[in-house]
């Protein structure tokens, strides 16, 4: 049974159909990438999984439970974490505090125990330790106490990844983790995503435009175009798929390819 099983979901806004009859499944421990031209419905799909949008039909099974009509906070509670295309951090808080917020779902003690210093101190130490492990993992020591708004964009994206990791997610959804980055930052983030996947064994679903990165690191790729899934498979297979080439290069893709080769 797949960890995440999306079956025939359709999402429309008024007359516009963002997703129609999309099905895909992600296995446990997989690094799955979703690609497609602009407006293909990639982010809409991610928003459906994380509960921001509710599909009109179809089911999203996470560990065999339909989550398609759940609220985002409930979904986060179940162990699905995400990052955003445009960084969504608390700009006036420092890196540690932003990441500690990611621990929110793991704050177990209630009002009564919270009042007792011993319990609270112990819990706080545990959460801080977890955050420090992530700081170490993502090599962010030098920015620990920096206010987020003062950090370069590439670092902010890393903080966001760190916050998602602080949730100790079972599935990590990454919405364009490399946009707006220079070559070096892109390579760094790609390395970290691979590390997260291999070291922590986290299942990752990633939307990304940078084809080089996608082809290098993902195990399986699903291609969306105009809200439909047009192909799925290994990077090699997807690259050769005529439908995918058509989606990216237009109807006369064969001539374009010939032109490029010539």
Partner 1 sequence: MKEDTIPDIFLGKVKKYGDRVALREKEFGIWQEISWNQYCRHVRHFCLGLMELGLKKGDHVSIFGENEPEWLYADLAIQSAGAVAVGVYPTNPAKEAGYVIGHSESIFVVCDNQEQVDKVLEAGQQLPLLQRIIVTDIKGLRRYTDSMIMPFTSVEELGREVEEQDPDKYYRTVETVQSEDIAIMVYTSGTTGPPKGAMLSHDNVVQFLKAQSQVLPQYDTDEIVSYLPLCHVAERMMSVFFPINSGATVNFAESVETVSTDMREVLPTFFLAVPRIWEKIMAGIMIKMKDASWLKRKMYQVIFPVGERMADAKLAKEQVSISLKIKYGLAYLALLRHLKKELGLLRARIAVSGAAPIAPEVLKFFHSLGVPVLEGWGMTEETGIGAINLPDDVRLGTVGKPIPGVEIKIAEDGEILLRCNHIFVGYWRDPEATARTVVDGWLHTGDVGELDEDGRLKITDRKKEIIITSGGKNIAPSEIENRLKCSAYINEAIVIGDGRKYLTALIQIEYDNVGKWAQESGIAYTTFKSLSQNPRIWELIQQEVDEANKDFAQVETIKKFRLLEKELDHDDDELTATLKLRRKTVNKKFGHIIEEMYSSKSRG
The helix (H) or strand (E) run that includes residue 87 is none
Among the residues of the chain, which ranges form H helices? 42-49, 72-78, 95-101, 111-114, 117-137, 153-166, 183-195, 211-217, 235-240, 242-249, 253-261
Q: Is 195 in the site for partner 1 (CB under 8 A)?
A: yes
Residue 139 beta carbon to partner 1: minimum distance, rounded to whole angstroms:
7
Closer CB to partner 1, residue 84 or residue 143? 143
**Distance between CA atoms of 177 and 164, rounded to whole angstroms?**
12
Which of 239, 169, 183, 213 lies closest to 26, judged by CA? Answer: 169
Q: In sequence order, what DSSP letters do the residues of 91-126 get, joined into one string?
A: TTSBHHHHHHHTTGGG----HHHHTSHHHHHHHHHH
Find the binder of partner 1 among 126, 139, 187, 254 (CB under 8 A): 139
**Distance between CA atoms of 85 and 234, rounded to whole angstroms?**
24
Q: Is 189 in the site for partner 1 (CB under 8 A)?
A: no
Stretch that binds partner 1, among 2-10, 113-121, 132-140, 211-219 (CB under 8 A): 132-140
Q: Is 191 in the site for partner 1 (CB under 8 A)?
A: yes
Number of Cβ within 10 Å of residue 191's Cβ equals: 12
Cβ-Cβ contacts under 8 Å for 115 (sequence gap 6 or more): none
Residue 128 beta carbon to partner 1: minimum distance, rounded to whole angstroms:
8
Residue 132 beta carbon to partner 1: minimum distance, rounded to whole angstroms:
4
Stretch that binds partner 1, among 22-30, 111-119, 130-138, 209-217 (CB under 8 A): 130-138
Q: Is 129 in the site for partner 1 (CB under 8 A)?
A: yes
Which of 135, 152, 137, 122 lies closest to 95, judged by CA? Answer: 135
Stretch that binds partner 1, among 190-198, 209-217, 239-247, 252-260 (CB under 8 A): 190-198
Q: Is 142 in the site for partner 1 (CB under 8 A)?
A: yes
Q: Is 132 in the site for partner 1 (CB under 8 A)?
A: yes
Would you give the end-to-end CA distance of the chain in angstroms?
Answer: 47
Find the binder of partner 1 among 73, 141, 216, 255 (CB under 8 A): 141
Closer CB to partner 1, residue 199 or residue 251? 199
Find the binder of partner 1 among 31, 135, 173, 204 (CB under 8 A): 135
Find the binder of partner 1 among 194, 215, 249, 256 (CB under 8 A): 194
Q: What angle do CA 32, 37, 42 make, to 5 degrees?
A: 45
State the residues that interact with partner 1 by CB under 8 A.
129, 132-133, 135-137, 139, 141-142, 144, 191, 194-195, 198-199
């Amino acid at each position: 049974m797949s960890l995440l099983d999306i079956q025939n979901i359709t999402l429309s806004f008024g007359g516009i159909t963002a997703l129609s009859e999309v099905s895909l499944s992600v296995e446990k421990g997989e690094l799955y990438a979703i690609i497609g031209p602009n407006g293909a419905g990639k982010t809409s799909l991610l928003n459906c999984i994380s509960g921001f949008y509710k599909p009109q039909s179809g089911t999203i099974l996470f560990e065999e439970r339909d989550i398609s009509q759940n609220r985002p906070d409930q979904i986060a509670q179940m162990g699905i974490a995400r990052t955003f295309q445009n960084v969504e951090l608390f700009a006036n808080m420092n890196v540690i505090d932003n990441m500690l917020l990611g621990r929110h779902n793991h704050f177990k003690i209630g009002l009564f125990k919270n009042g007792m210093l011993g319990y609270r101190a112990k819990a706080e130490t545990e959460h801080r330790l977890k955050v420090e492990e992530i700081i170490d993992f993502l090599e962010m020591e030098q920015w620990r106490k920096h206010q987020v708004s003062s950090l370069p964009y590439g670092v902010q994206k890393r903080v966001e990844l760190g916050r998602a990791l602080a949730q100790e997610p079972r599935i990590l959804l990454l919405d364009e983790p490399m946009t707006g980055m220079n070559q070096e930052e892109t390579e760094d983030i790609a390395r970290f995503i691979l590390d997260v996947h291999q070291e922590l064994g986290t299942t990752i679903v990633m939307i990304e435009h940078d084809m080089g990165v996608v082809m290098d690191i993902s195990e399986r790729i699903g291609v969306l175009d105009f809200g439909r899934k047009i192909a799925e498979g290994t990077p090699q297979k997807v690259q050769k798929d005529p439908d995918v080439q058509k989606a990216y290069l237009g109807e006369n893709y064969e001539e374009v390819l010939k032109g490029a080769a010539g």
